[in-house]
């Protein structure tokens, strides 16, 4: 079973880069551009890895799966 990672950062370029890297390493990656969206992903199912930008804003319009 693939390991699951949640990456939260408001920097779209960083999200794209880290998602590609983790995917190449065999991880299933979900991304969020806000703490609020990351919390939704975390409540659904705890990941094996959480990469969180502590200065990330509270609201954003995007969440995705790499």
pLDDT at position 55: 80
pLDDT at position 54: 82
Q: Helix H segments across the chain? A: 12-24, 35-44
The boundaries of the domain holding residue 44 are 3-65
Tell me the pLDDT band of 64, cut-offs 50, 70 and 90: low
- The total domain count for the chain is 1
CA geometry: angle 20, 22, 25, nearest 5 deg:
110
Tell me the pLDDT band of 17, cut-offs 50, 70 and 90: very high
Percentage of the chain with pLDDT > 70?
A: 85
CATH of the domain at 21: 3.40.50.2300
pLDDT tens per residue across span 29-38: 999 999 999 9
């Amino acid at each position: 079973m693939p390991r699951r990672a949640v990456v939260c950062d408001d920097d779209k370029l960083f999200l794209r880069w880290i998602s590609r890297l983790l995917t190449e390493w065999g991880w299933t990656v979900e991304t969020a551009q806000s703490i609020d969206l990351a919390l939704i992903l975390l409540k659904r199912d705890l990941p094996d890895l959480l990469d969180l930008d502590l200065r990330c804003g509270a609201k954003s319009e995007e969440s995705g799966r790499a």
